[in-house]
């Protein structure tokens, strides 16, 4: 019941003779009933005034239960219900962050408990970091791989930036709670995982063509998490206990892989740059935000289609690198195969189903590499090569 999810990673490290210096959240529990372990943990750690951060949906599935459990143990829990924006979405923006900070100060909270999906985690991790108190993670949907991230993507004056924050002390991912998550959020978590197909390829590309840092261990952890998801798409789509366990484990392990590596290379390549580009465009034009993983899954299919169509001998720089890249590309399923996997889990599989126009796709394919100019993706090499041939 309290099996810690880090064991598999530690075994993989040991098998390679690698020492992991990174401090992980402790414990990380992804089991049915994990929610009931959160309150005793918070009491045992000596906290008195936990502030639960939830929204009107997640308070019902986890927040209320935490309030009751904590009060029953003699603690003085308080609740912040983060308000949605004008379009009805909870956003990790300055208004939400200040709302939580004001409550932290008012009730003199000594720990924050994030009870929600990725956005509530980003609000909580940045508010906790700013207030100088820790936070505990209670995910309510297996929707992103960022629960244990140290960085927080936040929106300030309509622009999305990623800022330094803190990772959680511990994670209690209750499968009974996660199985109740809306199907589109489960599909989004699966889409965020499928994005690893192209991010892992781009990581190999950056390593071979630009000497970007690389870790066999971190790549192997990410690959295994991805394979677990792809091989069990049907169970994940039907939200069986086993399917949801595999998905949340994969998302957390992918997050831990990034934590070990210290950068996002293993889990974020051109498909994430495309997704960021679409997100910024939607923000600029006042359109309702799409789920991160829904965008990443569709973007991954688009990037796969493009990459499989390219002859990249020139971009590779040497015949040897080109050969290695060709092998790496063989591990990326075709665009159609990726769309087939997305459909199995019930998520959007094409830009039409997602709600991205062909014009925006075309523009993003030409410009999205500028989102992160320090990253050497094949998309960037392709676009810069095109520009060089024109001039
Ligand atoms: Zn992602």
Interior angle at CA 230, CA 226 and CA 233, nearest 5: 135
CA of 149 to the centre of ligand 1 (A): 11
How many whole angstroms from 196 Cα to the centroid of ligand 1? Answer: 9
303-328 burial by CB neighbour count: b if 16+ within 10 A, else e? Answer: bbebbeeeebeebbeeeebbebbeeb
237-247 tens-digit pLDDT? 999 999 999 99
User: Where in the sequence of the chain do the CATH 3.40.50.1970 domains occur?
Assistant: 20-179
Q: Is the pLDDT of residue 379 over 50?
A: yes
Dihedral sign of CA atoms 369, 357, 195, 329 in order: negative
pLDDT tens digit sequence for 204-225: 999 999 999 999 999 999 999 9
- pTM value is 0.96
60: Cβ–Cβ under 8 A, 6 or more apart, which residues? none
Q: Ligand 1 centroid vs 271 CA: distance in angstroms?
A: 9
Which region among 156-165, 274-283, 339-348 has the lowest average model confidence (pLDDT)? 156-165
Place of tokens 């740059």: 273
Determine the distance separating the centroid of ligand 1 and the alpha carbon of 220, expressed in angstroms: 18
Q: What spacing in Å lies between the alpha carbon of 347 and ligand 1's midpoint?
A: 15
- What's the CA-to-centroid distance between 355 and ligand 1, angstroms? 19
pLDDT at position 93 is 96
Where b means 16+ CB within 10 Å and e means fewer, 222-259 reads bbbbbebbbebbebbbebeeebbbbbbbbbbbbbbbbb
Question: How far is ligand 1, taken at its centre, from the CA of residue 261, in Å?
Answer: 16
Q: Tokens 């002859």 belong to which residue?
A: 311
Mean pLDDT of the chain: 94
User: 272-282, pLDDT tens digit by residue?
Assistant: 999 999 999 99
Distance 70 CA to ligand 1 centre (A): 32
Q: How far is the CA of 389 from the centre of ligand 1 (A)?
A: 33
171-174 and 28-31 as β-strands: parallel, antiparallel, unpaired?
parallel
Output the CA 40–ligand 1 centroid distance in Å.
31
**Residue range 136-160: mean pLDDT, rounded:** 93
The domain made up of 183-213+263-390 has a fold known as Dehydroquinate synthase-like, alpha domain (1.20.1090)
C-alpha 217 to ligand 1 mean position (Å): 20
DSSP labels, 109-173: -SEEEEEESHHHHHHHHHHHHHHT--EEEEESS---S-TT-SEEEEEETTEEEEEE----S-EEE
pLDDT band at 105 (very low <50, low <70, confident <90, very high): very high
Q: Which fold has domain 20-179?
A: Rossmann fold (3.40.50)
C-alpha 192 to ligand 1 mean position (Å): 5
Residue 277 CA, ligand 1 centroid: distance in Å: 13
**What is the DSSP secondary structure assignment for residue 324, as one 8-state letter?**
H
Q: What are phi and psi of 53, to 5 degrees?
A: -110, 115
pLDDT(228) > 90: yes
Distance 198 CA to ligand 1 centre (A): 12
Ligand 1 mean position to 254 CA, how many Å?
Answer: 10
Average pLDDT estimate for 248-256: 96
Q: How far is the CA of 272 from the centre of ligand 1 (A)?
A: 7
Ligand 1 centroid vs 3 CA: distance in angstroms? 26
pLDDT at 60 over 80: yes
Q: How remote is the CA of residue 293 from the centroid of ligand 1, in Å?
A: 6
Residue 312 scores a pLDDT above 80: no
Q: What is the H or E stretch that residue 29 is in?
A: strand 28-31
The per-residue pLDDT for 3 is 61
Flag whether pLDDT at 69 surpasses 80: yes
Q: Where in the chain is the domain with CATH 1.20.1090.10?
A: 183-213+263-390
């Amino acid at each position: 019941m309290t099996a810690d999810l880090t064991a598999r990673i530690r075994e993989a490290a040991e098998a390679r003779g690698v020492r992991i210096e990174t401090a992980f959240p402790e414990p990380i529990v992804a089991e049915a009933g994990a929610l009931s372990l959160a309150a005793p943990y918070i009491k045992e750690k000596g906290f008195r005034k936990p502030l639960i951060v939830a929204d009107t949906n997640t308070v019902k599935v986890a927040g209320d239960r935490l309030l009751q459990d904590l009060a029953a143990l003699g603690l003085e829990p308080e609740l912040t219900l983060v308000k949605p924006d004008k379009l009805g979405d909870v956003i990790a923006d300055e208004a939400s962050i200040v709302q939580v900070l004001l409550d932290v100060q008012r009730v003199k909270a000594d720990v924050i408990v994030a009870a929600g999906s990725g956005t509530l985690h980003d609000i909580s991790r940045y508010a906790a970091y700013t207030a100088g108190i820790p936070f505990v993670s209670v995910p309510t949907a297996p929707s992103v791989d960022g629960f244990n991230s140290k960085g927080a993507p936040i929106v300030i004056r309509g622009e999305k930036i990623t800022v330094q924050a803190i990772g959680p002390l511990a994670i209690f991912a209750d499968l009974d709670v996660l199985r109740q998550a809306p199907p589109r959020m489960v599909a989004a978590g699966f889409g965020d995982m499928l994005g690893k197909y192209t991010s892992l390829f781009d990581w190999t590309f950056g390593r071979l063509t630009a000497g970007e840092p690389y870790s066999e261990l971190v790549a192997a952890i990410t690959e295994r998490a991805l394979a677990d998801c792809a091989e069990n798409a049907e169970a994940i789509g039907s939200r069986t206990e086993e399917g949801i366990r595999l998905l949340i484990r994969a998302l957390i392990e992918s997050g831990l892989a990034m934590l070990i590596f210290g950068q996002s290379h293993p889990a974020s390549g051109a498909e994430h740059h495309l997704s960021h580009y679409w997100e910024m465009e939607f923000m600029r034009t006042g359109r309702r935000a799409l789920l991160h993983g829904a965008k990443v899954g569709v973007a991954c299919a688009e990037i796969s289609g493009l990459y499989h169509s390219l002859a990249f001998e020139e971009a590779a720089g040497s015949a040897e690198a080109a050969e290695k890249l060709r092998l790496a590309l063989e591990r990326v399923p075709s665009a159609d195969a990726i769309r087939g996997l997305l459909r199995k889990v019930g998520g959007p599989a094409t830009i039409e189903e997602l709600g991205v126009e062909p014009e925006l796709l075309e523009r993003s394919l030409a410009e999205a590499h500028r989102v992160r100019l320090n990253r050497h993706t094949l998309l960037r090499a392709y676009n810069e090569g095109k520009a060089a041939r024109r001039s």
